[in-house]
Amino acid sequence: MKQLIYIFLVFTLISCDTKTDKKEIYFEDNFEGVELNQENWNYELGDGCPNLCGWGNNERQIYTKENVSLMHGNLVIKATKDSTNYYSGRITTKDKIEFQYGTVEVKAKLPQGAGLWPAIWMLGNDIDTNTWPACGEIDIMEYVGKAPHQIHTTLHTPDSYGQSKNTKISIIDTIEDGFHVYKTKWTKDTITFYIDDNLVYTFSPEIKNDKTWPFDKPFYIILNLAIGGNFGGPEVDDSIFPQEFIIDYVKVSSSD
């Protein structure tokens, strides 16, 4: 964490000294090469057991390294099925790339089919001691194959525990076609969400405290493709496999 804080301060000083209007890039991964850069990313593996079986949502997949790959300058998270199990991938920047405030931008192409649940999201880095939802959660993009054309952007806080009341569903008929850019701007006052540079949701509670605004601390990024679960399921169309969640790039920059 000391190194992460130092990197953030360096960028801050550069921004002040140069007096430029250009955004400072804190982190960027274009997924070139043949292997995931494990200086930036972690694999999360298994089914969540014994502590969080089904990853807390009754999900049906087992996460493996083999279901995460780099191909043609893209990150590919593949959902597969054999005779007994579903498999997929989940990666995070926990303890490696963590930041407080900024703009997160991800260009991605969605998989399709009932039972799939791809997501681009963030959790507070204190989750191990300040458990969900007190740690806070920022859902930049969630999509469920059972509800085509719908993108969910959501904030989870202690105030909204058990409910997605801080949320917006954006209906875009062409969202499954090709790549789209999902972006969140996070400041000390406001969190705003964009799809292809179109503003879709603004979150800024009038009263900000630990219950309504657990967002004044570093967060880390998660990319995953779940199968089934409380949100993605319960029905899974077994005829759709394999399916791929493809990410072109991830970029974190200053919000100004």
Range scoring the smallest mean pLDDT among 83-87, 117-121, 156-160: 156-160
Alpha-carbon gap, residue 107 to 97, rounded angstroms: 18
pLDDT value, residue 137: 97
Three-state DSSP at 113 gives coil
pLDDT value, residue 161: 75
Please report, to the nearest 10 degrees, the dihedral formed by the alpha carbons of residues 228, 232, 234, 236 taken in order. Answer: -60
Average pLDDT of the chain is: 92
Alpha-carbon gap, residue 194 to 201, rounded angstroms: 7
pLDDT value, residue 21: 52
Express each pLDDT in 123-171 by its tens digit. Answer: 999 999 999 999 999 999 999 999 999 999 999 999 987 667 899 999 9
To which H or E segment does residue 11 belong?
helix 2-18
Alpha-carbon gap, residue 131 to 237, rounded angstroms: 33
Residue range 50-64: average pLDDT? 96
Q: 148, exposed or middle or buried, with CB in 10 Å at 0-12, 13-18, 19+?
A: middle
Please say whether the beta carbons of 69 and 206 come within 8 A: no
Q: 64, exposed or middle or buried, with CB in 10 Å at 0-12, 13-18, 19+?
A: middle
Closest by CA to 100, choosing from 186, 159, 169, is: 186
Closest by CA to 180, choosing from 166, 162, 163, 198, is: 198
Q: Write down all domains in the chain, each with its CATH number in brackets.
A: 2-253 (2.60.120.200)
pTM score of the predicted model: 0.91
Express each pLDDT in 192-228 by its tens digit. Answer: 999 999 999 999 999 999 999 999 999 999 999 999 9
Q: 100, exposed or middle or buried, with CB in 10 Å at 0-12, 13-18, 19+?
A: middle
125: Cα separation from own chain's centroid: 14
pLDDT value, residue 91: 98
Q: 197, exposed or middle or buried, with CB in 10 Å at 0-12, 13-18, 19+?
A: exposed
- Positions annotated as catalytic residues are 137, 142
Strand runs labelled E in 157-216: 166-171, 180-186, 191-195, 198-203
In degrees and rounded to multiples of 5, residue 223 shows phi and psi of -125, 125
Amino acid at the residue 22: K
